[in-house]
Every structure is written in C-alpha cells, then in structure tokens.
C-alpha cells in the first residue's frame, strides 16, 4: 500500500483555476456563501446557512478552534554606510515556537522568546547586522522589539526576540504584527482581515493560517445546528504555513509534510466514543487531527506510556500499518492513557498526509472549501470521495463557485 501511495503523481491532481475565481475578500454575510452538496456521487447546491438541514440529527460535528496570530513582522534594516547603501525591509514570518515551545506559555512571555521563522529579504540581513530593531507605541509608552538571527532549522531560521515595557508577547504581536493572509490572494492584508480571517469560534492562539471551512459559520448557523440536534465539539490544530506549500516533486514521495501541533480535550474523545467513533469534520485541519487520533490510539495500544513526542503521527504511518482495530477501540486507548496520566487534554503533533489509498476511520462527512490545484488538501479530498474530486470541481467551476480561503464551501458525503 505504502509504495503505491508514494508513487501518486501530483500532476494528476491539477485543474485550471482562473484568477478571477479566487475570492480576494469574503462576502459581507459569512453564511450567504454557496454550499456545494456532494451526496453519494450526486452534486447539487444550496446556501451555507441551510447546512444544518443536510446533516443527520444526533450526529457529532467537530470544529478547529485555533486562532490566527499576527505572525508577519516587518523590520527596517538601516543602511550601513557608503553612498550607494540603502535601508532594507526584512519580513519575519513566525512559524512555530522554539523557546518556550508550549504555545500557551509562549504568549504569556514578557521579555524574550524564540521562534522558528521564514525570513523575507534574507540576503539583505547580513552577518554585520545580527540584530534588527523596531518600536511601537503601546499604552502611552514606546516598546522596543529586537530580533536576532539564529541558526538554520530546516528551511527556517531560529529568531530570538527581546522587548521591554513589560507587555506580553500576545499583546506585542497584536500591536506590531500583521495577519498573514494567504500568498495567493496577491494583496496586502487589511484591517478587515483581522476579523474576517478568524472563525467566530476561534479561541486558542497559534495558527499562521485560518481553518477556512470554519469562516462560513455564524452564530445563527451554530444555533441552528443545536436546534437540529447536532452535537458540537472543538479541538485545536495550529495550522502551519506549510498548508500553502505546493507539492513540487513529481510524485508525493518527494514531498515532506509539515508538522502541526494538536490538542484534543478528554471530553471530545468521550463524545467521539459515544457517537460510535464517527463524526462530521469542519475543515481539513479538523480531519487531519481526528484521523491522527486513530493512529495515536493504535500506537498507545502497544506503547501505553508514550511521551508527547513519541505519539507524533508520521507522514507515512497510515500506509505502513494496517491495524484491525475499530475507531472506538483506538479512542479508548487514548482515554485510558489520559486517565493513567491524570490529563484532561491530549497534546502531541501530526505530520499525516491523507492521499488516495488512505482509509478513513472516524470522519464520515466533511465541510471543506475548494483547494489549490496540486495541493495536499486536494489529495485529502480525493481520498475522501474515492477519487471523484473532478466531478465536484467541474461543477463548482461551471456554477460560479468562489475558490480558496475566502471562497465558498462544500459538504462531502461519500
């Protein structure tokens, strides 16, 4: 199984996406977006606010409550002398915490922290200027933030930040950072993105990209889900910038999936068991987290005292094993683990790649947007609808659906 999946050619997951079909801004009313319905091979459409009418009463729906941070920082490197030298704008894009490496602890820091970052205009940040500086007015005082370049870490750099003023890192990012809207929008981020690029239920800071299927939900739709008897739970997967990274290799064996931090509450595991190990997932980030739970449970069945790091789900794990375990059995192993270690939250990370050939264990229905050609997210959708993704995308292109992060969405029932 593993080898056949690795030989999937990414060129087979391409389609023509005209620029005018990419939604540059969201609709004024989130839930007025279009909803494509794919039910057992049949395609139709509706308006998103009617989503609850298409779901089975008593089902469990799981949302990703991650909150996008203002992860894009700009520093001006001053000219270093000489008549031809000019100042340079250096962009630092926060990817994941280095020290402290716990997200919650990170945002409470008041003096210093380190992140793994992408650096724009890196060639102008020479060794002779190891420290960059910027200032911001906060609460009537000037706060100075410095950034010092550290060693390479894969394709990113470790950057050490220091600041004065006694403010928290969370407050400082709100003041100096920009919301990192996706690169394919081809525009600068605007004040409105601070609101529109967050889900209405976002809570836990840490993502550098929004879980965009959730952008369509409003309080009205959430109340309607409750009225239709749909059980709701939340989990946290902090979306990494790698979610936008196209597959550059001919076959997916050459693509390294990015690692993402996940946190799932004990109550969510209990709800999943109570619903027979089945759920409706909102967004591909929820899908990746939920399906990772199955493999975490399988691992715990033979390694009952694994550490957070050891529970990490590797990219190819699903294809290297074919466990005979049910989803409920796997979830019970997680519950037992939480009980033994007196934990309320399962914390670990996942690098799972879901591609055609993958067998879904827990997710039975999915709400998701329309994804970029040749992306790992398109592979995930194809695996879910048994290879029938072209039927869905042809319909969407022929019926004026809006694509990508601020675009329309679909409900997929294979």
pTM assigned to the model: 0.93
pLDDT digits (tens, 9 = 90+) for 302-333: 999 999 999 999 999 999 988 899 999 999 99
117-121, 242-246, 316-320: the lowest-pLDDT one: 242-246
Edge-to-edge strands of the sheet including 72-77?
A: 72-77, 88-99, 112-120, 156-163, 141-153, 131-138
Site of tokens 């970029």: 372
Average pLDDT over residues 103-119: 94
pLDDT digits (tens, 9 = 90+) for 27-44: 999 999 999 999 999 999
Output the average pLDDT for the chain: 93
Average pLDDT over residues 185-193: 91
Domains and CATH numbers, the chain: 2-68+194-413 (3.40.1780.10), 72-177 (3.30.310)
DSSP3 helix / strand / coil % (the chain, rounded to 5): 30, 30, 40
Average pLDDT over residues 54-82: 89
pLDDT digits (tens, 9 = 90+) for 90-102: 999 999 999 998 8
Residue 95 near residue 156 (C-beta atoms within 8 A):
yes
Coil, helix or strand at residue 147? strand
Phi/psi at 186 (nearest 5 deg)? 50, 45
Tokens read off for 373: 């050609």
Coil, helix or strand at residue 107? coil
- When pLDDT is cut at 50, 70 and 90, the band that residue 84 belongs to is low
Tokens read off for 40: 């057992």
Which of 409, 405, 61 lies closest to 208, judged by CA? 405
Query: Quick one: which H or E segment has residue 101?
Result: none
Which of 289, 283, 284, 285 lies closest to 216, judged by CA? 283
Please give the share of the chain, as a percent, with pLDDT higher than 70. Answer: 97
């Amino acid at each position: 199984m593993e080898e056949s999946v690795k030989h999937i050619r990414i060129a087979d997951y391409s389609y023509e996406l005209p620029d005018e079909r990419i939604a540059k801004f969201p609709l004024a009313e989130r839930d007025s977006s279009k909803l494509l319905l794919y039910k057992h091979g049949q395609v139709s459409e509706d308006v998103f606010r009617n989503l609850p009418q298409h779901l089975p009463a008593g089902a469990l729906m799981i949302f990703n409550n991650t909150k996008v941070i203002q992860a894009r920082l700009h520093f001006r490197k001053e000219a270093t002398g000489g008549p031809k030298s000019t100042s340079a704008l250096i962009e630092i894009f926060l990817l994941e915490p280095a020290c402290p490496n716990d997200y919650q602890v990170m945002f409470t820091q008041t003096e210093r922290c380190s992140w793994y970052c992408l650096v724009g205009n890196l060639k102008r940040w020479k060794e002779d200027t190891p420290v960059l500086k910027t200032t911001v007015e906060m609460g009537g005082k000037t706060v100075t933030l410095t950034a010092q370049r550290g060693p390479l870490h894969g394709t990113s750099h470790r950057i050490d930040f220091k600041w004065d003023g006694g403010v928290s890192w969370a407050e400082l990012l709100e003041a100096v950072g920009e919301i990192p809207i996706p690169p394919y929008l081809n525009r600068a981020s605007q004040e409105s993105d601070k609101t529109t690029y967050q889900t209405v239920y976002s809570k836990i800071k840490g993502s550098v990209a929004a879980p965009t299927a959730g952008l369509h939900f409003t309080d009205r739709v959430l109340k309607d889900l409750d009225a239709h008897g749909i059980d709701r739970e939340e989990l946290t997967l902090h979306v990494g910038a790698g979610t936008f990274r196209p597959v550059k290799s001919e076959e997916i064996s050459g693509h390294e999936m990015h690692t993402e931090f996940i946190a799932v509450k004990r109550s969510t595991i209990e709800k999943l068991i109570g619903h027979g190990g089945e759920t409706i997932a909102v967004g591909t980030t929820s899908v990746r987290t939920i399906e990772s739970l199955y493999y975490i449970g399988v691992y715990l069945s033979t390694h009952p005292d694994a550490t957070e790091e050891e529970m990490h789900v590797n990219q190819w794990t699903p294809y290297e094993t074919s466990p005979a375990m049910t989803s409920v059995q796997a979830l019970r192993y997680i519950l037992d683990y939480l009980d033994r270690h007196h934990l309320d939250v399962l914390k670990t990370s996942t690098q799972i790649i879901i591609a055609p050939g993958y067998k879904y264990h827990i997710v039975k229905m999915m709400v998701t947007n329309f994804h970029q050609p040749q992306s790992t997210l398109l592979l995930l959708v194809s695996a879910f609808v048994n290879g029938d993704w072209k039927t869905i995308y042809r319909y969407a292109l022929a019926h004026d659906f809006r694509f990508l992060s601020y675009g329309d969405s679909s409900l997929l029932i294979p």
